[in-house]
Amino acid sequence: MQFQNKKKVATITAVGMYVPEKILDNKYLESIVDTSDEWIMTRTGIRERRIMENGATSDMAVKACEDLFKTTSVKPEEIDVIIVATVTPDMLFPATACLVQEKIGATKAWGFDLSAACSAFLFALQTGASLIESGTYKKVLVIGSDKMSSIVDYTDRNTCILFGDLASAVLLEPTENQNIGIKDSMLFSDGSGKDALQMKAGGSLNPASHETIDKKWHYIYQDGKAVFKVAVKGMADVSYEIMKRNNLTSDDVAYLVPHQANLRIIDATAERMGISKEKVMINIDRYGNTTAATIPSCLTEYYRDGKIKKGDNLILAAFGAGYTWGAIYLTWGLD
């Protein structure tokens, strides 16, 4: 008998999301900080964001998973691994993945949180894909969930206009169809960017104290201009490189699925790839920057709207705190 060692490929077999009900629009922000709807729209592309009023990141993640499980025959108790991409875990420990595991009844799963800020969903997706490619695991839930409102200073106009709360999840399973699935990734970290975008306190460097609270170190700090410059270059370059490395032309790419931080960064990335606006997934106008949830929520919405079809080549791309950045090339496998 001939020994067959077909490479296992991971593919997304289900998607889901949770959108909190409360809307925070630019008009409201005008009433609490010195800003305007016009400034926010032209500089960022954001019109409104969602706020999770009662509950934490794990609660949003659970609702996204419940939404996902409605669409697949896979049951929570069949899940092998849960990866929660987040910068707003319920607590520093235990991991939010454990809380989600218990709440959804994934009785045989192990899991962990992955902290890579706005690139976390990409890092988690590649990690999940590798677990499947290893042949050891067959059902991996990759969740992006962030309650950004819990770390936003609503007196700081530089940051409070940007972020929102959202959760979304994908299920990864192996496929022997070599035409679909996750095909390539280029992921990077550069810790020299740590001072430009961070939450200073609450960890072992600056444990919570009266001083850290007085200095507002438990909120997001961002040097927007500095991050903007590197984000434009980082996201555009890596998206172009992954296309080149896989011999893809802009015609071969059905969609760019960018992290939703700023419409101007997204436009610059699409331009570098030679991709027209209609082929760029966008939901920043309705949700703002939802950190780990931006990319899976775009996938969920565009798939449910019938805009992605089986066989479509997608380039997922992100840039975030760390710095962290990267791109993933996949071919959509869901009908």
Q: Which is nearer to ligand COA, 58 or 289 (CB)?
A: 289
259 is known as an active-site residue: yes
Residues 6+ apart with CB under 8 A from 207: 201
CB of 117 to ligand COA, least distance (A): 6
Q: Which is nearer to ligand COA, 70 or 225 (CB)?
A: 225
HEC readout, the chain: CCCCCCCCEEEEEEEEEECCCEEEEHHHHHHHCCCCHHHHHHHHCCCEEEECCCCCHHHHHHHHHHHHHCCCCCCHHHCCEEEEECCCCCCCCCCHHHHHHHHHCCCCCEEEEECCHHHHHHHHHHHHHHHHHCCCCCCEEEEEEEEHHHCCCCCCHHHHCCECEEEEEEEEEEECCCCCEEEEEEEEECHHHHHHEECCCCCCCCCCCHHHHHCCCCCCEECHHHHHHHHHHHHHHHHHHHHHHCCCCHHHCCEEEECCCCHHHHHHHHHHHCCCHHHECCCHHHHCECHHHHHHHHHHHHHHCCCCCCCCEEEEEEEECCCEEEEEEEECCCC
CB of 49 to ligand COA, least distance (A): 13
Q: Which is nearer to ligand COA, 102 or 237 (CB)?
A: 237
CB of 323 to ligand COA, least distance (A): 9
Q: Which is nearer to ligand COA, 96 or 290 (CB)?
A: 290
CB of 256 to ligand COA, least distance (A): 16
Active-site option among 26, 98, 259, 262: 259
Q: In this structure, what token pair is assigned to residue 78?
A: 């069949």
Q: Which is nearer to ligand COA, 213 or 226 (CB)?
A: 226
CA distances from 300 to 26, 103, 135, 294, 335 (A): 25, 22, 26, 10, 13
Q: Which is nearer to ligand COA, 119 or 331 (CB)?
A: 119
Active-site option among 65, 98, 118, 298: 118
289 is known as an active-site residue: yes
Residues 6+ apart with CB under 8 A from 162: 44, 46, 222, 261, 262, 288, 289
CB of 265 to ligand COA, least distance (A): 6
**Which residue's Cβ lies closest to ligand COA?**
224
247 is known as an active-site residue: no
| Longest CA pairwise span in the chain (Å) | 74
Q: Which is nearer to ligand COA, 158 or 246 (CB)?
A: 158
Residues that bind ligand COA (CB under 6 A): 35, 39, 43-44, 118, 157-158, 161, 224-225, 227-228, 231, 261-262, 265, 289, 319-320
CB of 326 to ligand COA, least distance (A): 13
CB of 291 to ligand COA, least distance (A): 7
Give catalytic residue positions: 118, 259, 289
